[in-house]
């Protein structure tokens, strides 16, 4: 099936479709960026846990320090604006 056959031929409608598509891409990029930032924070936290677990005794830190870091991450993820909206957006933007 030819996908161009379903497109309108009206220039104004095509422009509106293009703008809407660009807005969805910008929103998707924002969601991806937030998720990449969270992945980096979590990877750094895991690296810290590994150092504490497998490092020399002089490098071991207080376990309460890691609990605070986990609480900070949980708080940030709960306070993240658009967290639920971002998940919905991601589901809506998946190619079909």
| Distance (Å) of CA 96 to CA 14, 89, 91 | 21, 14, 10
pTM for this prediction: 0.51
Q: What does pLDDT average to in each consecutive run of 10 residues of the chain (96 residues)? A: 76 95 97 96 90 70 68 71 48 44
Closest CA to 66 of 44, 88, 87: 44
- Per the listing, tokens 């991450």 go with 73
User: Which tokens in the block code for residue 53?
Assistant: 């677990």
What are the residue boundaries of the structural domains of the chain, listed by start? 31-96
């Amino acid at each position: 099936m030819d996908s161009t056959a379903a497109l309108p031929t009206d220039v104004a409608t095509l422009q509106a479709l293009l703008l809407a598509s660009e807005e969805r891409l910008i929103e998707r990029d924002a969601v991806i960026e937030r998720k990449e930032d969270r992945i980096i924070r979590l990877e750094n936290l895991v690296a810290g846990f590994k150092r504490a677990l497998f490092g020399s005794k002089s490098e071991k830190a207080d376990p309460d320090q890691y609990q605070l870091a986990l609480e900070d991450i949980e708080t940030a993820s709960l306070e993240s604006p658009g967290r639920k909206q971002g998940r919905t957006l991601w589901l809506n933007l998946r190619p079909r």
